[in-house]
């Protein structure tokens, strides 16, 4: 895995953010701190048309991200997927963002759990050909071993940048939603602004809530 830096980068951080947690923002901040070429982390919440259990409305997830990103000049939220008439493929999102941000190099970030499945993604060959991907190791995964074991990953290893993950957590948005439904606090799991927003809007109280 090698790193080639040509211009400042915008790193796309996609996900459901249902809800956004401190761990999401901590990982993003870590990337900005460790890689001088990263100008901005762009949070891209997926469209609610994406088939995901318990996925609340686009606007609520966007607003929660915005509450935090408004306070960090290196963070921004994009509406590119939530304003789309259909769920976009990753290659479509990245390509469109590159067209509208020509002064930057658009990159992507993912966990090693997704790296395992990358070959099955729509137009995976184009993704690794046209975009660099920052990868976080999850659980006991070893990215170098994963790449060596896959012909697809090995032949495209120039696309991958392993992030030295100094912040490890197994806490998930699923866990946070379960705690809310049980009437328990998620303080310290999510930023205070998001905890307040969830309470004010009475979110995540019912299964399958939209």
Question: Distance between CA atoms of 199 and 100, rounded to whole angstroms?
Answer: 36
According to DSSP, residue 118 is labeled G
Compare 188 and 210 and report the one with higher pLDDT.
188
Report the alpha-carbon distance of residue 128 to residue 160 in Å, rounded: 8
193 phi and psi angles, rounded to 5 deg: -65, -35
What pTM value is reported for the model? 0.92
Indicate whether 33 pLDDT > 90.
Answer: yes
Round the average pLDDT of the chain to a whole number and report it: 92
83 versus 164: the higher-pLDDT residue is: 83
CA dihedral in degrees (198, 57, 113, 123; nearest 10)? Answer: -160
The ranges assigned to domains in the chain are 9-200
- What is the mean predicted confidence (pLDDT) over 124-134? 98
Tokens 């379960």, located at residue: 178
pLDDT tens for 189-203 read: 999 999 999 999 999
Instruction: State yes or no: pLDDT of 120 exceeds 50.
Output: yes
Question: Domain 9-200 falls in which CATH fold?
Answer: Rossmann fold (3.40.50)
Radius of gyration of the chain measured on its C-alpha atoms: 17
């Amino acid at each position: 895995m090698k790193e080639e830096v040509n211009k400042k980068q915008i790193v796309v951080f996609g996900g459901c953010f249902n809800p956004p947690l401190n761990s999401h923002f901590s990982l993003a901040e870590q990337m900005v701190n460790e890689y001088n070429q990263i100008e901005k982390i762009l949070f891209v919440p997926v469209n609610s048309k994406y088939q995901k259990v318990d996925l609340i409305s686009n606007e609520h997830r966007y607003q929660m991200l915005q509450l935090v990103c408004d306070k960090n000049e290196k963070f921004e939220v994009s509406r590119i997927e939530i304003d789309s008439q259909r769920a976009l493929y990753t290659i479509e999102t990245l390509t469109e963002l590159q067209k509208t941000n020509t002064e930057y190099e658009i990159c992507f970030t993912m966990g090693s759990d997704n790296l395992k499945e990358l070959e099955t993604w729509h137009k995976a060959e184009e993704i690794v050909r046209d975009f660099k991907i920052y990868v976080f190791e999850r659980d006991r995964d070893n990215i170098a071993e994963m790449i060596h074991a896959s012909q697809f990953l090995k032949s495209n290893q120039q696309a991958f940048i392993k992030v030295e993950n100094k912040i490890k957590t197994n806490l998930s948005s699923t866990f946070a939603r379960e705690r809310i439904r049980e009437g328990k606090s998620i303080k310290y799991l999510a930023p205070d602004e998001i905890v307040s927003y969830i309470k004010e809007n009475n979110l995540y109280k019912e299964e399958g809530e939209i």
